[in-house]
Structure 1
Amino acid sequence: MRTARFGDLFQLERIPLDPDPSEAYVQIGIRSFGRGIFHRPAVAPEGLSKLRYFCINPGRIVFSNIMAWEGAIALTGSQDEGTVGSQRFLSYAPISREVSPQYYNYFFQTEAGLRLVRSGSTGTVKRNQTLSPRVIENFLVPFPSLDEQRRIASLLDSIIRVTEADSSTSQVEAALPSSFLSAAFSGSAPTAKVKDLLFLSRQPVDVDNETAYKAVGIRSFGKGMIFYPPSRGDQLSKLRYFKFPGEALAISNIKAWEGAVAVTPHATSEYVASNRFLFYLPKEDSIDVRFACYYLISEEGLYQIGLASPGSADRNRTLAVDRFAEVRIPVPPKDVQQRVVAMLDKVHKEWVQALERRNALRAALRSSALNAAFTGKL
């Protein structure tokens, strides 16, 4: 097969963002292992990090310069128009009429494509394996005819569409079924206000630009916490940051209405969270924070959180601390709470394991299809 230099087919596109204080900006991220682009919640300019930002356009191949070695490469679509990406995201626009961006996006997800990317990612520590534009542009990539590129891309589109037909619901499926939660909290029990059971606990951090920090997030639908790779202080957003305790109830104040509630692990000293996250510890022994967490992601709990989160647009539905303090939580005897937690933990574990088995089969089929397509077997 003919080959060509990637830089002769695509060019780096850098359109600097000029932040408008009255606008909110949606940042992109790229999932590893070829799982595509995701959007972060919209933020005002002060919610962006101290890095430079650029406008993102559809039809571009985007590399995460620090995670491309792990397959964090994606093709932008119409849904990404109007988003922004930090300088960490290298966006390439086609400059030749003889290329299909979709074909080359798939190529970089194959074993051959990833070997190429890894060979050009400098550094020995994972977070330092950085890919530069100069290296990307010197990659020698397959260059079949445009018709062949389109044929392969179309075929892979069809195969992957089948394997991932229900991927849009996987986030919801990974959460506990609402029926289990409803059943767990259907019994009568006395209730108490959050302010009488829990207290807010977090310790301010004086962020140093040269120091590495591990930031956290919270997934929606009760799916637990996110632990991001280390990043320097100058890569964190301009929000305030805090240390937080272990075994605490954790809530995202902008996504609480969608079930972004979790319990922090035992050891958390190396992690920080922005002021968008609230952490609560028990005032007394009458409440188990794990029980409180499960209740708050139940239908009844989410209803109360919704009432405490004023606003009509997703990005404006912020949980008010004073209103959350008035939310009522059932408080059965402690042994009952612990039995409910044990039961829901077991159900959740089995639910997630089933989902992981299905996702593993899906990933294997995707990988086989990609490698077959680029070795002349499709």
Structure 2
Amino acid sequence: MESEHFDTLRLHAGYEPADHLQSPIVPIYQTAAFGLGDTQTAAAIAAGTKSDAYTYSRVGNPTVRAFEKRLAVLDGGVDAVAVGSGMAAISYALLNVAEGGGRVLAPTNIYGASLDEFRTLLPKFGIEFDFFDDINDLAAIKSLIQADTKAIYIESVANPSTEVADIEALAQIAHAAGIPLIVDNTFPTPYLCRPFDFGADIDVYSSTKGINGHGNVVSGVIVDHGKFDWHNGKFPQMTESEFILGNEAKQQTASFYSKFGAKAFISRIRMKYLRLFGAVMSPFDAYLALLGVEKISERLSKEVQSTKAIATYLTTNSHVEHVYYSGIEADNKLVKKYFPRGIGAILSFELAGTEQQVAAVLDHVHVFTYLPNVGDVRSLIVNPVKVTHREMPQAIRLKHKLNQQVLRLSIGLEDVNDLIADLDQAIAQAF
């Protein structure tokens, strides 16, 4: 079905009703494990020669698998692995590419928890980070690459500034150095942007956000483009003999690259990180996420249009110092290139007031919900410095104009006039 259009694939890709009693909706396989049948079948499953079988839901589950396959097709990848959260997706992807030690390049204007992990946690596992402030200072980024650099990590649309990354140029820099480009594409989702179309190698998502879109599931997805050469000598974990892939009785050995080829990276995610670290997505969560995917086009289309209208309104409000939303920058060539349908439904703005006035806006909204999430059908508001980006040191926050006066909005499906009126009355009361 890969040749079909997006709006067909979001409803049908990765699932065959004939394999599930002709149910048009993916069933919920709410079970911890699956029967092995007879001993011959069990032996084939254990040897990995029966790919359509399941043993234990930590390793694989039919409901979760349908979600994985659908996201892989929508994103243009060879395969995907669903996990328990967006942070698990980021962690597994970076550990898989740089385990054993190495360096990763990353911008400083990213989600607070991601930056906290990169600064304070992953270095304890031997993975160091070289940070840069400007996502599109290509010369500076190129100069940071060293012999032990393992990847470049970016957000396609930055959180919360909405700066747009030049994915194609960054992919070229990465590939010239023999390393992959890993893209957190959470804000746009595959509906608004497919980084693989511009040379990216691995996409990670918090599918909690726009992919699911209803604020009722915490989950993440890793998608593999299947085009990167993991046999180039920089990634021994992909080419070393792996006990679980060989046949001890026949004294046969295999590596992830020799056995899975283009799917080496994503297969290793599933068989080492998902299986052994265990941040699984539950079958019920996968079912809810699939329902969200079925309506992704309509949701995001309306949300993007509403976000543009709200951003435009905010530029006219005398109490707003600045609006951060690349989607209304008419001369932004990167927006035109990568986001013809819009950059997404998240924006930020800085109030020309005190911290007390910012708090008053939060206390006086009625339609917006004061809540630390994005990508919901309900519109949300939050003060990043105190909530979602509190792990970010002040020196880094100030580089990106992320101060106490900045508020972040996630626009949902309410009537846009009601949303504008709600912001207008809350700001008026604050001032």
TM-score bracket, normalised by the shorter chain, equals under 0.3
TM-score (norm: length of structure 2): 0.24
- Indicate the structure with greater strand content: 1
TM-score (norm: length of structure 1): 0.27
- Indicate the structure with greater helix content: 2
